[in-house]
Amino acid sequence: MAAAIQPVHCSEGSGSESAHRLCSVVRQPVLDLRGRVHAYELRFRGDAVHAGAEAYSNLLETVVNFGLDKPSELKKLTGKLTAFVRCPVEALNEQLAQVLPASLTVLKIVKGPEVSPELIAACRQMKALGFRIALDDFRIDKQTGSLVELANYIEIDFARISQEESRELLNELHESEITFIAKRVNTYADYRKAREVGFALFEGHYFCEPTEVRNRRPPVNQMLRLNILKALQQNPMDMHKVSQLVMRDGPIAYQLLRLVNSPVWGIRQKVESIEMALVAVGETSFRRIATLAIAAEFNGDQPAELLCMAMLRGRICELTASSRGLEPFGQYLLGLLSLLPAMQGQPMSEVTRTLPLSGEILEALMGKRNSERATLCWLENCERADWAACDAAALADGLDQRDLARIYIEGVAWTEAALHSGV
C-alpha cells in the first residue's frame, strides 16, 4: 500500500488565526485531445475569495500543512504530473521558490488591474528559477505583450468568450510556443466547440457528464458482472461462488490479477489464480479489487481520469464510513459507481435499474439526500472547489472537514498508486 501524505500540523499555543484555519486542496484535471491528463490544477480553499497577501498566506499554509513543498509529496497529489497553482502577484518572489518545487509547478497568474513593470520582472525571475507561467484570462494588447512573451500557457474562459474571439486569439499567436487551455468546459457540446476552435487542452467536468449513446447494447457479460457485484456484497462472502463467477469473465479476471500482483498490495509471490488472490489479499481487499476491475471494464474507452475520479470517490467514501456508522464496502460501491452514467452513456435512472444494491445506496446514487450520500455530496462539491457548498454540506450532515481534507489527500495517494500499478 502506498504511503499516505501526512499533514503537518500548526504548532499549538501560537494563538494565531492560521492555527485554526481550515486548509483544503483539491485537484482538477487538465485533459488533452485524447482525453489524457496533461496536468492538474490545485485549487486551495480561499484562492478564489481572498486576494493579495491573504491569498498568499492561505496558499503557503496549505502547502506546508500537507507537505506539498516536498517534491515527493506533491507528486503523490498530481500523479507525478505538473501542478498548476493560482498565484497572487504578491507571491511572485524568491520565497515562493522555497515553498513550491519549481520543476513541477506552473504559476497561474490571474489578471489584475494592470500589467506593471514589477509584475513582468517578477515573472522573469520566477522563470529563471525554473517555474513555468500560465496567464489566466489576459487580453492580448500592447500592455500585456511583454508578459505574453513569458507565458508557456494561456487559459481562456470558454464560458465567457465567444468562439470567434477565441479563434482570433489563437490565430494571432499561432506561431508562438504558447499552449492554450480552454477552461470551464463543462459539457461535451462545449468540448466539441473548443476543439473546433483549435484548443489543445481542456479544463472542466465535461467528461463526467453522460453522453447518450443511441442503440447502445449492453456487453454480453453485463449480467455476469452484476451477479459478481451481488455475490461480493454477501456477508460472509461465498469465496467458491465468487471465484467461479470471476473466472467465467476473462476481462475481469485479467484486471483483477493485474491489480493483485501490483506493488500496491505488496505480495511477494506471483498470484496466478482467483483462489490465490482471495487468500493473498483477504476478503475485504478482494471485494474492493474485484469491484474496481468491474468499474475499469465499465469505463471502456472513456478517459482514464473518469475511472480515477470514481476510484477516488470510492476510497474516500470507504475511509469515512466507519466513523459515521456506515458499512465501508457499501460506501466504496456508492462512490465507485457514482460516475457510471458517464462511463456507460446512460442516465442514472437507467443505470440503477439492474444494479444489485441496497435501497438506500440506490437512492443515494439517484441523488436523494440520505445518510449514505453525505460524504459523496461533500466530495462532489469539493471536486469543483465550491468551498461554500462544502461548508453547507458539512454543516447539514455533521462532517468534520479537517478530517475530510486529510482523507482526500490520502485517497489521492492510494488511487494514484493503484492506477500506476496497472489498472
Crossing angle of the two packed helices 222-232 and 274-299, in degrees rounded to 10: 130
pLDDT of residue 28: 97
Q: Give the Cα separation of 375 and 404 in Å (integer).
A: 9
**How many angstroms separate the Cα of 394 from the Cα of each of 47, 355, 369?**
20, 28, 13
SS3 37: strand
- Tell me, what's the pLDDT at 345? 86
Averaged pLDDT for residues 378-393? 95
Task: Say which residue, 4 or 225, is predicted with more confidence.
Answer: 225
Identity of the amino acid at 279: V
Mean pLDDT of 227-252: 90
Give the pLDDT of residue 367.
93
pLDDT at 218: 54
Note the pLDDT tens digit of each residue in 89-139: 777 766 666 788 999 999 998 876 578 888 888 899 899 999 999 998 777
Residue, of 382 and 112, whose pLDDT is higher: 382
Cell of 250: 476473462
The proportion of the chain whose per-residue pLDDT surpasses 90, expressed as a percent, equals 48
Domains in the chain (CATH in brackets) are 17-208 (3.20.20.450), 222-419 (1.10.3210.10)
CB atoms within 10 A of CB 53: 11
Strand, coil or helix: what is 174?
coil
Angle at 345 between CA 228 and CA 292, to 5 degrees: 35
Alpha helices in 129-201 (DSSP H): 145-148, 163-172, 188-197
**What is the pTM (predicted TM-score) of this model?**
0.87
| 27-46 per-position pLDDT tens digit | 999 999 999 999 999 999 87
Reading the block at residue 108, the C-alpha cell is 497561474
Which residue do the cell numbers 500557457 mark?
153
- Distances in Å between the alpha carbon of 160 and those of 22, 138, 144, 164, 338? 31, 13, 20, 12, 30
The mean per-residue pLDDT over the stretch 328-352 comes to 92
Residue 9 predicted with pLDDT over 70: no
pLDDT of residue 214: 54
Task: Say what the pLDDT of residue 261 is.
Answer: 83
Write down the mean pLDDT value for the chain: 85
Distance CA 299, CA 306 (A): 8
Strand partners, 182: 156, 202
- Note the pLDDT of residue 342: 93
Q: Is pLDDT above 90 for 375?
A: yes
> Taking Cα atoms as reference points, which of 205, 203, 258, 254 lies closest to residue 420?
258
At 207, the pLDDT band (50, 70, 90 cuts) reads very high
| pLDDT of res. 203 | 96
Q: Which residues pair with 87 in a beta bridge?
A: 109
Q: In the predicted model, is pLDDT for residue 56 greater than 80? A: no
Choice between 288 and 377, residue whose per-residue pLDDT is larger:
377
* 47 or 315, which is more confident: 315
Q: Does residue 212 have a pLDDT over 70?
A: no
Torsions phi, psi of 347, nearest 5? -65, 155
